[in-house]
Structure 1
Amino acid sequence: MARRYLHEIDLMRAFVILGVLSVHTTSFFNVLNNDMTPGFLTLGALITTMHYTRETFMFVTGLVLFITYYRNPFNPLVFWRKRFLLIAIPYIIWTLAYIAFVGLLTPGFDWSWSVLWPAIEHNLLTGNMYFLYFLVVSMQLYIVFPFLLYMLRRWEKYHIHILIASFVLQISLMWLNKYALGNVNTANLSKVLYDLYQYRDRNIIMYQFWFISGGILACHYDRVAAFIYRHRRALFVSLGIGVCLVWGYYFLERLAVGESEGSAELVLQPIMVPYSLLVTLVYWYAGMSWAKRMGRPGWRPFSKFVKVAGNTSFGIYLAQPFPLYLMELTVNHIDGLGIPTWLHYALLPVSILFVYFSSMLISYIFGKIPLLTYTVGRRTQWRRHKHEAVQHAA
């Protein structure tokens, strides 16, 4: 079968990565506030409602993989060679770049090999530099994808059962992560067990529902799309209720239960599973609605932006620490001038857009330079020889 290109995925990637950068920028602004003040709690509630981005990206990853391979020939060795080439290279390069960046910012940093090598080894094994955990989880998905593909092909008539079981397992894992694993005494754990515990947020098991649900959607794409269109009003109403519930839960955790900010904002907790699913479906519906209009004259400028932002989203994710650092320096300097509170908060949307478009520019430029394209997950397209171009045209 001809492989299907989903234009709606471009819009999802373009705006979900904007959500990712919004979380990171808003989190910095909230660090400048005092805990439990109205401004702190307001931004904390806002950050919590934006904590769907990780799950949505993983849902999209599963969707794209299954829409590509579910009804087409599949060779695991070819798949692994292709996928790991485009993710392992940026993972290694950006890990090294981040370590060098941190070293340059740290006075008296020891650049000796005896110090650098353990840091490189540890960060490559854990994805501990900035936000590289996503690449670690993606590589785990690529390893197990042939099994998932076989499973969904083999048990196609049981997809709804698999989806329900996966959802229940996800809720259980999130409950375990928040209410059980958060209180483990790690003093007597071996290094292996300690690392598994400490870095459980980059274990594929913790995100299994998002890959499986994205895959099942790919298997029944048109039927589910028709269902979403018929019930779009209920979907938006459910999302509105979901936002209110998440806000209420956050304030309950902070003001009544006395939980810490980190616990209340936690991404991997039960309430975020249904909420993130609702947000993801709304993104998907918005993408499908745009895809129907993308070629109309009035929509063409926006469509060009979506294409660029969607194609550079992976690079935006990788490049963001550098614009974030510049943004933090600038905001700290401006705040040091004694600006009024309203101006401080007015800088938030400006800062988000600066980080977003600066990261996009870096990703776009890297994607145009031969060999550097691999750092943003894209192959280098070498110029064809003249006879190859003629042969291709023929």
Structure 2
Amino acid sequence: MTTAQATLEAPSRIARPGGKAPYLHQIDLFRLVTFACVILIHVVGATNFAQDVGANAVETPLHFTREAFFALTGFVLVFQNRGREITPSDFWRKRLPLVATPYLAWSMFFWAFSLVTGTQQPDSLEASMRLLLKDLVTGGAWYHLYFLLVTMQVYLLFPWIMKLLRATEGKHKWLLLGSGVLQAGVTLFMTYQPFGVGYETITHLYATVLPYQFYTLFGAVVAMHFEAVHAWVGRHRLLLGGALVAVLAGTEWYYLRTVHSGTFPQVASDPFQPYLIPWFLAVIAAIYAFSTWWSGRRREGSGGARLVSWAANRSFSIFLVHPLALAFLGPLIPHVAERFGAPWLSVIIYFATIALTIVMVEVLRRLPGSQALTGRPRLRLAKA
């Protein structure tokens, strides 16, 4: 193998002091691509009707974002801690506030926002407080906050996940197989509810770790075998790219077939449809393969490297803020639709949402309480 090949196939990472895990630049790009798709799916949903077959065809593959996030969460946690002993109390003290504080802050904000805008109209102060309590327990204050609630559940379980991985060393493929069977069963249960199971029960499952356990464990197992998996991905990028195209075609075919069989488009594209599991795995692997290809050619200090690093640093903040930016743009949607029509409506609102979100994040990052509002430390104001 030549020096250039060795550099290309080696993990893109920087040794860090104090025995910490090396920094993986490909994870920055993976996170950036996934967050960009999160905003896109929310914009497509906000600018199209629920019965629009084409819009739901676009949304169907974009549902991978939640699974990719939890695969990334499992990967990062294990990669950072696979060589050390985990003390649950220490781990929770360090990790939980990073998510719990923004969760509480934004849940209360969106609860108040929904009251002011009339989205929620409780009959009394007591009913309003009951609604807040329900939102805090279920992650229902706004449509993206369930992710933070599930992330906290992953953090609570993580010390035992590490114990499970170490106890099953050498048998991780069987661990993933069992988790995959459970995942298929959970998605079948959520899609084809047994008689007597109410829809509200299913909606509450969305905010638990159960529908995401396989992807979290998948990322965790990959982290335990990082060097071997990374090398395999480097040798099989074309294979993963071909699999991505083939599985995407099969996914869209099945979606359209389901719709033509009489299923409502929004139901046929539901993120917990069992037929989406192969697509989720294919796209997660393909994005990582592309990210490693990029990181192998990354030049420190280049414009692209700085942009990805800057965006990755703000990715969690952008996730927290973008639904508010989209809500602010909501009154403009009918006017833009009348002027430009589809699909330009979605394109214009998408870039407008990104631009407004970045402006809001940059302002919030410089205010007191930035840690609670953006999940990141406060930035210093530039001196004149």
* Partner Cα distance (1:127, 1:16) in 2: 21
Fraction of identical pairs, as percent: 27
Please name the residue that 1:292 is paired with: 296
1:170-185 → structure 2 map (5 Å cutoff):
170-181=183-194, 184-185=196-197
* Partner Cα distance (1:107, 1:236) in 2: 43
1:231-380 → structure 2 map (5 Å cutoff):
231-256=236-261, 258-295=262-299, 300-335=302-337, 338-339=338-339, 341=341, 344-379=342-377
Is residue 135 of structure 2 the alignment partner of residue 123 of structure 1?
Answer: yes
1:1-394 → structure 2 map (5 Å cutoff):
1-31=19-49, 35=51, 40-106=52-118, 109=121, 113-130=125-142, 131-181=144-194, 184-186=196-198, 196-256=201-261, 258-295=262-299, 300-335=302-337, 338-339=338-339, 341=341, 344-379=342-377
Q: CA deviation at 1:261?
A: 2.2
* Partner Cα distance (2:120, 2:59) in 1: 35
* Partner Cα distance (2:240, 2:111) in 1: 44
**What do the CA deviations read for 1:268-298 (whole angstroms, capped 9, x no partner)?**
121211101111111111221222222267x
In structure 2, the CA distance between the partners of 1:242 and 1:184, relative to structure 1 (3 Å rule), is farther
**What do the CA deviations read for 1:232-257 (whole angstroms, capped 9, x no partner)?**
1111111111111111111111112x
Corresponding pairs, count = 362
1:14 and 1:309 in contact (8 A); partners too: yes
Indicate the larger mover: 300-309 or 123-132.
300-309
Question: Could you tell me which amino acid in structure 2 is paired with residue 146 of structure 1?
Answer: P
Q: CA deviation at 1:329?
A: 1.3
* Partner Cα distance (1:329, 1:176) in 2: 38
**SS, match of residue 139 in structure 1:** helix
Please name the residue that 2:5 is paired with: none
**What do the CA deviations read for 1:158-204 (whole angstroms, capped 9, x no partner)?**
111111221222122212221235x5453xxxxxxx86543111111
1:59 and 1:214 in contact (8 A); partners too: yes
**SS, match of residue 23 in structure 2:** coil
Q: CA deviation at 1:206?
A: 1.1
In structure 2, the CA distance between the partners of 1:168 and 1:121, relative to structure 1 (3 Å rule), is same
* Partner Cα distance (2:27, 2:283) in 1: 14
Please name the residue that 1:387 is paired with: none
In structure 2, the CA distance between the partners of 1:107 and 1:157, relative to structure 1 (3 Å rule), is closer
Q: CA deviation at 1:382?
A: 9.5
In structure 2, the CA distance between the partners of 1:26 and 1:246, relative to structure 1 (3 Å rule), is same
* Partner Cα distance (1:272, 1:113) in 2: 43
1:26 and 1:47 in contact (8 A); partners too: yes
Q: CA deviation at 1:75?
A: 1.8
Q: CA deviation at 1:375?
A: 2.1
Question: Could you tell me which amino acid in structure 1 is paired with residue 350 of structure 2?
Answer: I
Q: CA deviation at 1:362?
A: 2.4
**Structure 2 runs not aligned, ≥5 long:** 1-18
**What do the CA deviations read for 1:118-153 (whole angstroms, capped 9, x no partner)?**
111010010002211001111111111110011101
Q: CA deviation at 1:59?
A: 0.5
* Partner Cα distance (1:247, 1:348) in 2: 20
* Partner Cα distance (1:51, 1:108) in 2: 27
Q: CA deviation at 1:352?
A: 1.0
Q: CA deviation at 1:73?
A: 3.1
1:4 and 1:67 in contact (8 A); partners too: no
* Partner Cα distance (1:107, 1:55) in 2: 29
Q: CA deviation at 1:381?
A: 8.1
Question: Could you tell me which amino acid in structure 2 is paired with residue 286 of structure 1?
Answer: F
* Partner Cα distance (2:311, 2:164) in 1: 34
In structure 2, the CA distance between the partners of 1:10 and 1:101, relative to structure 1 (3 Å rule), is same
Q: CA deviation at 1:347?
A: 2.8
2:40 and 2:350 in contact (8 A); partners too: yes
| Runs (4+) off by over 4 Å | 107-112, 379-383
**Taking structure 2 as the reference length, what is the TM-score of the superposition?**
0.88
**Taking structure 1 as the reference length, what is the TM-score of the superposition?**
0.86
* Partner Cα distance (1:252, 1:365) in 2: 46
